[in-house]
């Protein structure tokens, strides 16, 4: 073998070894790059998932707040309209007072509840009617005007320190409280 062949053979061996080592190094580098890529991908996937979860939780929290606020506003609006109905009813009190059934109701209450020595408070408009009823029922009770009463009466029993309230406002308030749900059904279809 000639020197040149020997040199070429040696160079070929070295070249093959270098290529094999280069392949190994490339394979190791690819493995390291793949591992690092997968680690980074996993890390950022987790971060993105956490970010999405946090934002979903935040959005759900905001939705819950908005739902509560909407319910509050709807309730407030419903209360407003129910109160408007109540005010319209209260505005009709003067019309109710002129009805004969109102006078019959006063007579029935006085006959049933008034006693000798009691004090009956009423509006100025009802003073004459109440006195007439007391006279016809032969009840000896004192009658006084109460400017806070729009219709109906209050009966005070001094011997018991007790007041019974038969004012139309009180009766309507009680009825209104009892019928509030039904009024809401009529107004809002609930």
State pLDDT tens for residues 116-161.
Answer: 999 999 998 889 999 999 999 899 999 999 999 989 999 999 999 9
Give the model's pLDDT for residue 75: 86
Report if residue 75 sits inside a domain.
no
Residue 180, domain member (yes or no): yes
* Block residue for tokens 């019309």: 95
Boundaries of domain holding 140: 92-188
Q: Which two tokens stand for residue 61?
A: 């929290």
User: Has residue 144 been placed in a domain?
Assistant: yes
Strand partners, 152: 167
Structural domains in the chain (count) = 2
pTM of the shown model: 0.59
Q: Does any domain span residue 96? A: yes
Query: Considering the domain boundaries, does residue 60 fall inside one?
Result: yes
**Measured distance CA(104)–CA(189) in Å, rounded:** 36
Same domain for 60 and 96, yes or no, is no
Contact (CB, 8 A) for 113 and 130: no
Banded model confidence at residue 18, pLDDT cuts 50, 70, 90? confident
Q: The domain spanning residue 100 has which CATH number? A: 3.30.2320.30
**123 SS3 class:** coil
* Tokens (6 digits) for 126: 């009802």
């Amino acid at each position: 073998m000639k020197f040149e062949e020997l040199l070429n053979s040696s160079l070929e061996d070295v070249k093959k070894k270098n290529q094999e080592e280069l392949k190994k190094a490339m394979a190791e580098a690819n493995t390291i790059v793949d591992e690092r890529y997968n680690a980074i991908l996993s890390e950022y996937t987790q971060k993105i998932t956490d970010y999405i979860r946090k934002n979903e939780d935040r959005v759900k929290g905001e939705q819950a707040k908005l739902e509560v606020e909407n319910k509050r506003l709807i309730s407030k609006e419903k209360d407003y309209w129910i109160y408007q109905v109540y005010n319209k009813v209260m505005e009709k009190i003067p019309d109710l007072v002129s009805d004969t059934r109102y006078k019959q109701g006063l007579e029935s209450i006085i006959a049933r509840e008034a006693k000798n020595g009691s004090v009956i408070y009423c509006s100025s408009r009802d003073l004459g009617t109440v006195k007439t009823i007391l006279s016809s029922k032969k009840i000896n009770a004192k009658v006084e005007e109460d400017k806070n009463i729009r219709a109906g009466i209050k009966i005070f029993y001094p011997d018991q320190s007790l007041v019974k309230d038969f004012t139309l406002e009180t009766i309507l308030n009680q009825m209104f409280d009892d019928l509030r749900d039904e009024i809401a059904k009529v107004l809002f279809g609930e």
